[in-house]
Chain A
Amino acid sequence: MENIYLAIPLASLFGAIIAGFFGRQIGRIGAHTVTIAGVGVSFILSLVALNHIVFDGGAVYNESVYTWMVSDGLKFEVGFLIDHLTVMMMAVVTGVSLMVHVYTIGYMHDDPGYQRFFSYISLFTFSMLMLVMSNNFMQLFFGWEAVGLVSYLLIGFWYKKETAIYANLKAFLVNRVGDFGFILGIAAVVMYAGSLDYIEVFQKAEQIAGLSIVIIPGTEWSLMTVICILLFIGAMGKSAQVPLHVWLPDSMEGPTPISALIHAATMVTAGIFMVARMSPLYEWSETALSFVLVIGAITAFFMGLIGIVQNDIKRVVAYSTLSQLGYMTVALGVSAYSAAVFHLMTHAFFKALLFLAAGSVIIAMHHEQDIRKMGGLKKYMPITYWTSLIGSLALIGFPGFSGFFSKDAIIEAVHYSQIPGSGFAYLMVVLGVFVTAFYSFRMFFLVFHGKERMDEHTKEHLHETPWVVTVPLIALAIPSVVIGWLTVEYMLFGTYFADSIVVKNIHNVLGQISFTTEFGFIEHAFHGLAVYLALAGLIAAWYIYLVNPKIADLLQQKLAVVYRLLDKKYWVDEVYFAVFGNGSRKLGNSFWRIGDVGVIDGFIVNGSAKLVGWLSGVMRHIQTGILYHYAFAMILGLMGLLLFVYVK
């Protein structure tokens, strides 16, 4: 198996290198062939690994591939930890990636950067695989930053577009703010656990939990809380949690396939994955879990609200991603790690589906993204329509669809949780269900039903997209329906994550859920609130946007303040730009102008040069060049000397 594990990331890397360096030689067809082959190999081998670990009961693999270096007794290694959690992530990452690769053939068909694009998305697959397969913190950080890099390259893929190159810089920097916390967390782990290896660190968790750290003199903090929160700051960057969420909506400036791959299905789930992976640490700090919970709850609800007022088809889906990531984070906060990862998996399929469907619409609409200029696309694009419907139903948690199982599990888990903040979080996630249904179907109805609001030219050319686009849609629609049925019982209530996720008994909220089968879930749903809220949201969207569109305008006028608040995204971007963007430029300028140019150079360096110049100017007057001045000075000196000797 060792060679297979090694081949999984390397196959993708190989494709990326060939397409990246020899793109011109191998041409377009060569580029997509080699990268799809590479990712295809990764996918098939991931399934082999999945089969080996899950169905054949293969042993957990935890070995190093090579030693990066050893310094001060600390081993920095590159190695793999392959267990149930890893193989699931590997299968999801490579599966979605493969679909996106195929889809890209259609979507990027006319783009001059075709080969480059394929190289990047394969490189991304490699990076993400290195991240999830890692068995240590250093490689985790490597993958962590590498996905950030590829995300930077891909958001700015259309490098002539001013908004794109603004967005990619912003995304990278905001992610770096998260990484800043993350690296400090890793440093803390190294200091107190003396190792970078997951398993060794986890073995010391109990010991670490007993320690405290003094950060501000006079105050003692629980060490585990500090470590977990620092690591979570990294997750907030990658998984776009409030207040580090600002980069994700802007990342929609990149081509749609990467929105599906990176900003919905995989990279943004890195933070969720990381916290689940670190469950043996998080379990020891209830404060950190509360922090995670509250951040997630805020993200889940308030980011969903923004989705209601967006008119760009991709941005609606982007805000829905933020909100769903919030749900996952909430699940982490209540120690329902497996529910978080389960939702991660279902979400990866239906969100990738929704993005690719949105991309399909965008292709058909000749790169028009404003949903106000769409409408009635159902009859032109039947495959896109039906797959979008499946994706939307899965997203809102309609009973039976994959998202239903995962979201319901999260809501129930929060319901049973006792940790501080769980009451607030419960309110947020339940209300969030209505919001989700409302914005999802607002978009759905505006795009596919109602009046055809596009111009005549676009309308004439409307037709279903080619097979390279629709096949991935269908391929993603299938798991969006069935994956929940197949896995819910095993993953959430069975022993699936027994080897990778640790939950203390007092935090075991999933254990309190009494219904554990697929049908149990569905039956229970009708006794709970969530399903009715979802239906209410759907119906409200239907009524407001299809039946009686005047209401939408009326509401917008009546609730102008709220509308403006949401439309401006709570003014977070503006505040950040003013404080961090302009603030740091002002600070830099004053440091430079006052500190460097003014004080150091102006006063000290050039000042002392001027002082020397002035002194020599004064001294110069003594040297008159007139003989009797010198003779006079000599006589004076001689007299002085004699006097001195005499007196002494």
Chain B
Amino acid sequence: MFADWPLLSLVVWIPIIGGIAVLLSGDKGDAEGVRRLALVFSLVTFVLSLGLYTGFDVNQVEMQFVERFEWIESFKIYYHFGVDGISMPLIILTTFTTVLVILAGWEVIKDRPAQYMAAFLIMEGLMNGVFAALDAMFFYVFWEAMLIPMFIIIGVWGGPRRVYATIKFFIYTFFGSVFMLVAMIYMFYQMDSFAILDMHNMKLDMTEQTLIFIAFLMAFAVKVPMWPVHTWLPDAHVEAPTGGSVILAAIMLKIGGYGFLRFSLPITPDASSSLDWLIILMSLVAVVYIGFVALVQTDMKKLVAYSSIAHMGFVTLGLFVIFRIWDNPANADSTGAVMAVEGAMIQMISHGFISGALFLMIGVLYDRMHSREIKDYGGVVNTMPVFAAFAVFFAMSNAGLPGTSGFVGEFMVIIASFKANFWFAFLAATTLILGAAYTLWMVKRVFYGEVTNNNVKALEDINSRELFIMSTLAIAVLALGLWPAPVVDVMHTSVNNLLQHVAVSKL
């Protein structure tokens, strides 16, 4: 299916052009037309992105769907796209989620719908650009540009404390990324190229690697976000409109994890290896400490935001536990690293579905009740039985129930971590208890019990549009949980290649 088309350019530019078109057509004030237009653009992009999967050669080590042109000659910056098994699934996740986000904002967004839809479409293109770019400067442009639509989404359609949240979000993430920019420029001066793949192969001594590693860490750790630079996320989520939260949780956080895979590990393997304790420590703190913090949240969105941080802890743990797996003398055959990384990646995709679903669910409630406080609810199942069934399903997925996608990544990372150290697996596995505790306790207080007040009594169950969104996500969660092979198979070659590269010292 359209394998010889410049698919990556299309999935980047179609939504951006679409966003501009939506923006322009919005002046006529025809909200319905605007939505439809936005939906068409997002659907076209989604269908095109599926071509990346069907046309993907799972055995090819090199980048695929490569496009490369000179962009800024004097700085040797190239318009350079390409995907491997690591980035391709994330692009599809992006295009898939955007369709649902457009649908989720359908009649909910009454204030400036054109701008709203446009912001999400442009956002989609930029995020796809981040995943597809193979030129560091090109990547950086997308990376920073992405902040603008999100800044607008939170700042315009956000809640009462949106100004604080947007500024915090922007400065936090921007603060992280400037260090990355410095690292990239340094490498450019060393080797006269911005190509990421060249950076993978360039020689760097330990000092250089350590500094570059820390610079990248600043950027990616904020994005993931890792403890202790996570505090922007709960605020941003709470203030963001539903769609913003979904994109934030489902895609933007993944860009941090992707950054570790694309930059930190292959460019600075020795520094990654020597500083892995730091990442592992931060990840395990995220799982345990944030798990407890999530337990006591009274705002549903904050609770899910903290849950996201805990779940992303599995991603960073999986990515950096590999050195310990290789070095553990008790791990006789030294396997496990591939599983750790693939587990981390599955966890990213799964978290995209599940956190997206959870934020959409909170949105469904918020649209009706205009409250996110757990105490304002109680007994919702009595008035919204269908919705409650979905809630229990996604809650269980969030708690990592086998058969749902939430289980796959956690299971792989826990098993792989055990090969590194008993205590890594031990602390990571506490999520089985903590994750279930904070998620199901929320479900109990919001959904179960007698109807607690008249607002809950007046609730109407989900409409067919909401039902469609929920069902689509539920199917995705189940499909990945019952048969992850089609997604994991795509990753094998790239992950193997990456790890072979990481295993070789640059010193």
Stretch at the interface among B121-129, B189-197, B395-403: B395-403
Residues of B near A153 (CB, < 8 A) are 392
Question: Does the CB pair A215–B422 fall under 8 Å?
Answer: yes
Given contacts A70-B485, A159-B449, A585-B296, contact A190 B441 (CB under 8 A): no
Query: Within residues 388 to 415 of chain B, which ones have a CB less than 8 A from any CB in chain A?
Result: 392, 396, 401-403, 407-408, 411-412, 414-415
Given B296, B331, B450, which contacts A592 in the complex, CB threshold below 8 Å?
B296
- Tell me whether A72 and B342 are in contact (CB under 8 A): yes
Residues 163-175 of A, flagged 1 when their CB comes within 8 A of B and 0 if not, give 0011001001100
With contacts A69-B484, A162-B449, A585-B295 known, is A146 near B432, CB below 8 A? no
Q: What mask results when residues 418 to 432 of chain A are scored 1 for a CB within 8 Å of chain B, else 0?
A: 000000000000000
Number of interface residues of B (CB under 8 A): 64
Q: Tell me the minimal C-beta distance from A614 to chain B in angstroms.
A: 17
Contact A142 B403 (CB under 8 A): yes
In chain B between 143 and 178, which residues have their CB closer than 8 angstroms to a CB of chain A? 168, 172
| Interface segment out of the listed A84-92, A255-263, A313-321, A595-603 | A595-603
- CB proximity to A under 8 Å, residues B276-293: 289, 292-293
Instruction: Check if B3 is an interface residue, CB within 8 A of chain A.
Output: no
Verify B422–A588 contact, CB threshold 8 A: no
Question: Which residues does chain B contribute within 8 Å of A70, judged by CB atoms?
Answer: 485, 488-489
Chain A 198-242, CB within 8 Å of chain B: the 1/0 string?
000000000000000111000000000000000000000000000
CA–CA, A71 and B492, complex, Å: 8
Stretch from B58-66, B180-188, B239-247, B332-340 at the A interface:
B332-340
Give the docked Cα–Cα distance between A153 and B441 (Å).
Answer: 14
**Cβ-closest chain B residue relative to A158:** B448
A180 near B429: Cβ-Cβ < 8 Å: yes
Interface residue stretch chosen among A181-189, A488-496, A525-533: A181-189
- Encoded as 1 (CB less than 8 Å from any A CB) or 0, chain B from 326 to 358 comes to 000011010111110011000000000000000
Complex CA gap A153/B403 in Å reads: 16
Provide the bound-state CA to CA distance between A73 and B495, in Å: 13
Say yes or no for B433: interface residue by CB 8 A criterion: yes
Q: Is B311 an interface residue (CB 8 A)?
A: no
CB pair A145 B401 closer than 8 Å: yes
Q: Is A416 an interface residue when CB atoms closer than 8 A count as contact?
A: no
Interface centre among A69, A215, A585, A587 (most CB of B within 10 A): A69
B293 touches A592 (CB 8 A): yes
Residue B436 at the A interface, CB < 8 A?
Answer: yes
- Using a CB-CB cutoff of 8 Å, which residues 107-150 of chain A contact chain B? 138, 141-142, 145-146, 149
- Chain A: minimal CB distance from B285 (Å): 10
The answer to whether the Cβ of B201 comes within 8 Å of any Cβ in the partner chain is: no
The distance in angstroms between the C-alpha atoms of A156 and B294, with both chains bound, is: 23
Q: Which of B450-507 contact A (CB under 8 A)?
A: 450, 482-485, 488-489, 492
User: Is A186 in contact with B402, judged by CB distance below 8 angstroms?
Assistant: no
> What CA separation (Å) do A70 and B422 show in the bound complex?
23
Q: How far is the CB of A468 from chain B (nearest CB, A)?
A: 27
Q: Is A160 an interface residue (CB 8 A)?
A: yes
Q: Decide if the interface of chain B is mainly helix, strand, loop or mixed.
A: helix
Please give the distance in Å from B288's CB to the nearest CB on chain A: 9
> Once the chains are docked, how many angstroms separate the CA of A74 from the CA of B423?
22
Q: Does B437 contact A (CB under 8 A)?
A: yes
Q: Is A557 on the interface with B (CB-CB < 8 A)? A: no
Q: Which residues of B contact A176 (CB under 8 A)?
A: 432-433, 436-437
- In the complex, the answer to whether A71 meets B412 with C-beta atoms within 8 Å is yes
- B contact residues around A152 at 8 Å (CB): 440
Q: Does B418 contact A (CB under 8 A)?
A: yes
For residue B273, CB closer than 8 A to chain A, the reply is no
Docked complex Cα distance between A169 and B292 (Å): 17
Cβ < 8 Å to B, chain A residues 276-318:
none
With A145-B401, A213-B330, A605-B231 as given contacts, are A71 and B425 in contact (CB-CB < 8 Å)?
Answer: no
> With A67-B485, A176-B436 given, is the CB distance from A588 to B403 under 8 Å?
no
Does B6 count as interface, using CB distance less than 8 angstroms? no
Q: Is B292 touching A160 in the complex (CB atoms < 8 A)?
A: no
Q: For window 368-405 of chain B, which residues contact chain A by CB distance below 8 Å?
A: 379, 381-382, 392, 396, 401-403
Instruction: Report chain A residues within 8 Å CB of B444.
Output: 165-166, 169
Give CA–CA (A452, B450) in the complex, Å. 35
Instruction: Output the nearest chain A residue to B292 by Cβ-Cβ distance.
Output: A588
Task: Kindly state the separation between the CA atoms of A159 and B380 in the bound complex, as whole angstroms.
Answer: 11
A589 at the interface (CB under 8 A from B): yes
Q: Is the CB of B292 within 8 A of A172?
A: no
A554 within 8 A of B: no
Do B295 and A588 have beta carbons less than 8 Å apart? yes
Of chain B, the residue at the smallest CB distance from A593 is B296
Task: Contacts A71-B338, A156-B448 given; indicate if A186 touches B415 (C-beta within 8 A).
Answer: yes
Given contacts A68-B484, A142-B403, A588-B292, contact A187 B418 (CB under 8 A): yes
Q: Of all chain B residues, which has the CB nearest A164? A: B448
Q: A146-B403, A179-B432 are in contact. Are A184 and B382 (CB under 8 A)?
A: no
Q: Which residues of A contact B414 (CB under 8 A)?
A: 183-184, 187
- A191 at interface, CB cutoff 8 A: yes
- Contact partners of B416 in chain A: CB under 8 A: 72
Say if the beta carbon of A474 comes within 8 Å of chain B.
no
| Minimum Cβ distance to chain B for residue A143 (Å) | 8
Say which residue of A71, A191, A587 sits within 8 Å of B292 (CB atoms): A587
Contact A149–B401 (Cβ < 8 Å)? yes
The closest CB in chain A to the CB of B447 belongs to A159
B429–A605 contact, CB under 8 A? no
- Whether a CB of chain B sits under 8 angstroms from the CB of A543 is no
- In the complex, whether A570 has a CB less than 8 A from a CB of chain B is no
User: What's the minimum C-beta distance from B204 to chain A, rounded to whole angstroms?
Assistant: 28
| Contact of A194 with B333 in the complex, beta carbons under 8 Å | yes
| Residues in A neighbouring B343, C-beta threshold 8 A | 71
Residues of chain A lying within 8 A (CB to CB) of residue B426: 184
Q: Which of B232, B292, B402, B411 has the most CB of A within 10 A?
A: B402
Does the CB pair A142–B402 fall under 8 Å?
yes
Kindly report which residue of chain A lies nearest to residue B433, judged by CB atoms. Answer: A176
Judge if B33 is at the interface, Cβ distance under 8 Å. no
Taking CB atoms, residues of chain A closer than 8 Å to B433 are 173, 176-177, 180
Q: Name the interface residues of A48-79: CB closer than 8 Å to any CB of B.
A: 66-74
Task: Give me 18 other A-B pairs in contact (C-beta within 8 A), A165-B449, A595-B293, A601-B231 excluded.
Answer: A68-B483, A69-B488, A71-B338, A71-B492, A72-B338, A145-B407, A149-B396, A160-B448, A176-B432, A176-B436, A184-B418, A184-B425, A194-B333, A213-B330, A584-B292, A592-B293, A595-B289, A600-B231
Q: Supply 19 A–B pairs (Cβ within 8 Å), ascending by A.
A: A71-B412, A72-B335, A72-B339, A72-B416, A141-B411, A145-B402, A160-B382, A172-B436, A183-B429, A184-B418, A187-B415, A187-B417, A191-B330, A215-B423, A589-B296, A591-B289, A595-B293, A604-B228, A605-B172
By Cβ-Cβ distance, the 9 closest A-B pairs, closest first, are A187-B418, A588-B292, A588-B296, A72-B338, A72-B339, A142-B402, A165-B448, A69-B485, A588-B295
Instruction: Name A residues whose Cβ lies closer than 8 Å to a Cβ of B.
Output: 66-74, 138, 141-142, 145-146, 149, 152-153, 156, 159-160, 162, 165-166, 169, 172-173, 176-177, 179-180, 183-184, 186-188, 190-191, 194, 213-215, 584-585, 587-589, 591-592, 595-596, 600-601, 604-605
Residue positions of B touching A, CB distance < 8 A: 168, 172, 228, 231-232, 289, 292-297, 330-331, 333, 335-339, 342-343, 379, 381-382, 392, 396, 401-403, 407-408, 411-412, 414-419, 422-423, 425-426, 429-430, 432-433, 436-437, 440-441, 444, 447-450, 482-485, 488-489, 492
